[in-house]
Amino acid sequence: MGDHKDLTNASAAEKIKDLAEDIKTCMFCTYNGDKLNSRPMSAQKIDDEGNLWFLSDKTSEKNEEILQNPKVELFFSEPQNQFLTIHGHATISYDRDLIKELFTPIVKVWMPEGSDDPNLSVIKVVPKEGYYWNNKHNRIVAMAKMTTAFVTGQTMDDGIEGNLKL
């Protein structure tokens, strides 16, 4: 097993920002009653407090579910290198200035009217807690260690993981 290091407050927010910006896409999960619904989404922004900002269609199922239950789960994964789970609460905003700030050309694939699309909304996820795991070293060193562990039959000890509390 690797090292264990729990992080709180600013350190937890920094870890969220670091991992989420690097991995980029997560499974964004909302609740419909007790059923967990998941879909891939990319955060448009992660601020210094660890809050994650997404653009969404205000008529979407996810927006409807957030209005009924603001509890959300985010799962980021870059296999064999980085993982991040966030448990938080979501709010929805229709602030046009914020939408224009977060809008990027790739979003036009889903929202063809652009940043002026009247159905665009912003989802802000405020993390409450989570869990992370990543390698201590870069990918090349991690892959070399994995290969060595596989060839020698030994366990690779290159991870660091811990709880996140904000």
List pLDDT tens digits, range 117-130.
999 999 999 999 99
What ranges make up the beta strands (E) of 1-115? 3-4, 7-8, 25-32, 35-42, 45-46, 52-57, 71-78, 82-93
Q: What are phi and psi of 12, to 5 degrees?
A: -65, -45
Q: Name the band, by pLDDT with cuts 50, 70 and 90, for residue 163.
A: very high
Counting beta carbons within 10 angstroms of the beta carbon of residue 66, is it exposed (0 to 12), middle (13 to 18) or buried (19 or more)? buried
| Radius of gyration of the chain from its Cα atoms, rounded to whole angstroms | 18
Q: Name the band, by pLDDT with cuts 50, 70 and 90, for residue 155.
A: low
Structure pTM? 0.86
The token pair that represents 9 in the structure block: 């407050």
Cα angle: 48, vertex 121, 116; to 5 degrees? 110
List pLDDT tens digits, range 26-58.
999 999 999 999 999 999 999 999 999 999 999
**Per-residue pLDDT at 136:** 59
Domains and CATH numbers, the chain: 3-165 (2.30.110.10)
Q: How far apart, in whole angstroms, are the C-alpha atoms of residue 14 and residue 10? A: 6
Q: Name the band, by pLDDT with cuts 50, 70 and 90, for residue 148.
A: very low
Q: With left for phi above 0 and alpha for psi between -120 and 50, is residue 29 left, alpha or beta? A: beta
